[in-house]
Amino acid sequence: MKKVAYYTGCLATLSAKELDTSTRALAPKLGLELDTLESVTCCGAGDIHEADPDYYLHLNARILAYAEETGADTLMTVCNVCTLNLRQANFMLQKDEKLLARVSANLEAAGAPPYTGSVEVRHFLWMVAEGEGYELLLQTAHKGLKGLKVAPFYGCQILRPSKLLGFEDPDRPWSLERIIEACGGEAVDYPAKIKCCGFPIIQAREETALGELVQPIEQALERGADAMVTPCPLCHLSLDAWQSKLNAARKKEKLEPLPPTPISCERCRIGIGGTAQGSRRTGVYVGGGAVSGAGSDPRAGTFPGDGCRRC
């Protein structure tokens, strides 16, 4: 078992608790021992970084320091935004010894552990898509997605900027497709799978955000997708909960409403089925994302898009 420091972030402990439950259920099957970070805060998303860059740096350095204190060499995340923020802060600290020393001293003065820069930040998706995690996935999956066309949606902050993320080609990503196919599903390709979901600007520029949101849903449906999966709970929120908002806007423009599109970012029992303890979802799941159903046919069940409680 590989020990990793596990950072849940905000949504996985609040409005997307099933994401945390699913991650905890799946991780041991992929050879991962989770050491959950308890005394940590939000990574600040993009807001704090814009308002006060130095405060943002200390906020994320504190998370990195607590991860380092566990003795693990990897800090594992389950959110695209958390991954980008933590990797960006880590990049800044690791390349500048004076900055690292100043921030580390400030952390100690505030009662937190110092940080030496030894931790690597990785998204759970990356842990599943290659190496030992992927080999164990192949042994665990029972092809439960057979017969389903699944559209992967990466979003932007797990792919770009590639200098900070760098796991895969931001224009030709492959990780979600690899996992979908390992579970027996057919991965649907479409251009908008690497676009922004619109979440960062929904409050300030709703019309523009909905314009971003409609593209992946329309394209996935055009390619015959039965469902969409995403490794990001914020993308999930946008694609799932805002479908009603999107259709209200389309109605004003006298356009046909989009048919309901099941979305999820859960990672529970890849291709195995069953019920995750503490989760209201049952059915067949895909790593880095999930398709949920009931019985032997996932398409017959209740999808995560139904009755969403996130908004």
Backbone torsions φ then ψ of 95, nearest 5 degrees: -95, -5
**pLDDT on residue 270:** 41
Based on the fold, state whether residues 55 and 200 are members of the same structural domain: no
If asked whether residues 120 and 146 sit together in one domain, one would say no
50 falls in which pLDDT band (50, 70, 90)?
Answer: confident
Q: How much is the mean pLDDT over the chain?
A: 83
Q: Residue 84 belongs to a domain with what CATH number?
A: 1.20.1050.140
Please give the average per-residue pLDDT across 47-51, as a whole number.
Answer: 86
152 and 115 within one domain: no
- Given a cut of 80, is residue 152 above it in pLDDT? yes
Q: Where are the beta strands (DSSP E) in 7-163?
A: 32-36, 74-77, 120-123, 149-152
Cα separation, 11 vs 16, in Å, equals 5
pLDDT tops 50 at residue 301: no
Q: What gap in Å lies between CA 174 and CA 97, rounded to an integer?
A: 35
- The count of domains in the chain is 2
The string of DSSP letters for 233-289 reads HHHHIIIIITHHHHHHHHHHTTPPPPPP--EE----SBTT-SB-TT-S-BS-EETTE
Domain boundary among 66, 92, 124: 124
Q: Same domain for 90 and 149?
A: no
Q: How confident is the model at residue 250 (pLDDT cuts 50, 70, 90)?
A: confident
Q: Which stretch of 13-27, 206-220, 271-285 has the lowest confidence by average pLDDT?
A: 271-285
Give the range of the structural domain holding residue 250, as residue numbers without chain letter: 142-300
User: Does residue 262 carry a pLDDT above 90?
Assistant: no
* Beta strands, E only, 105-249: 120-123, 149-152, 186-187, 227-229
pLDDT confidence of residue 47: 80
Provide the pLDDT for residue 263: 60
> What pLDDT digit, counting tens, does each position of 169-222 carry?
999 999 999 999 998 999 999 999 999 998 877 777 878 888 888 899 889 989
Mean pLDDT along residues 87-114: 98
Between 110-124, 141-155, 167-181, the lowest mean confidence (pLDDT) is in 141-155
